Each structure stands twice: as C-alpha cells, then as structure tokens.
Amino acid sequence: MNKEIIFISAVALLAFGFCVINAVSFFINRNHFKKTQGTIISFKTLNPSTEKMRNSKWAIVSYKVNGKNYTSQNQIQVSMTADIGSHVPVRYDINQPDRLYHFSVKRIVVSALIVVGCLLVIILKDFPQHI
C-alpha cells in the first residue's frame, strides 16, 4: 500500500470517528436541548484578528429562556463575520439553561461527506490496478 492511500485512509478514519462521536452525542442529547436566538456579548479569535485563514471566532452569548436572561457558561463557535450584538442560533440544555451544546448536524454531514470522498478516492486510485 502506498503512502497516499495510507494518508487518505487515516483522514477517512479520523473523519469517521468525528462523525460517529457527534452523531451519538446528537442522538443521546436530542431530547435534552432546545433552540433559541442568542446575542453575542463578547468573543475571541484563536489567531490574531487580522488573520482570516485558519482562524475561528468563539463567543459568549446571552439569550432568553422562559422569560429569564442567561449568559452562556461556555463559548460557541460563530461565523467570522459575526460581531458583538449579532444574533446567532443556540442550543441550550433544558435542565441547565446556561449551558450550551456545541454539536451541529452540519458537522455530522460534512464529516460523513469527507469519509465518502476519501473512500471514493481510495477506490478510484486502486481501480486501474484491477483492470
């Protein structure tokens, strides 16, 4: 087996693990969270804010649940274009409304697509050897 196939297999395996962990977390907790709109009150970026590539923005949000205002204990990742005062969808724990969930269906779908893409590359790369 050549090095490219090993590397692509490792990427597929990591993406599969990420997908499974997020999917299991989503299905276990699906009855324990609700969605609402939050407002960003502060944020930080992992790299200097002037760097756009390979950067992410993490925010503390405030949101209202059953008429009571909450400020998140944990940070959530938001779009790089989001700013203080921006509205973002949040998922909060029904039993602890100040705790937010990080998982998303998009992450599950994207990681599954990466697995499928890697497997297709492996199959197509190996296919000419069998002709």
- Among residues 98, 109, 102, the alpha carbon closest in space to that of 19 is found at 109
Structure confidence at residue 12 (pLDDT): 95
Structure confidence at residue 52 (pLDDT): 65
- 10-residue mean pLDDT profile of the chain (131 residues): values are 87 95 87 89 78 77 92 85 89 86 84 95 75 54
Structure confidence at residue 74 (pLDDT): 85
Cβ pair 61, 39 in contact under 8 A: yes
Structure confidence at residue 128 (pLDDT): 64
First CA to last CA distance, the chain = 17
Output the CA torsion sign for 123, 126, 128, 131: negative
The values of phi and psi at residue 64, to 5°, are -115, 130
| Domain range for 77 | 3-130
Cβ pair 60, 72 in contact under 8 A: yes
Q: What's the total number of domains in the chain?
A: 1
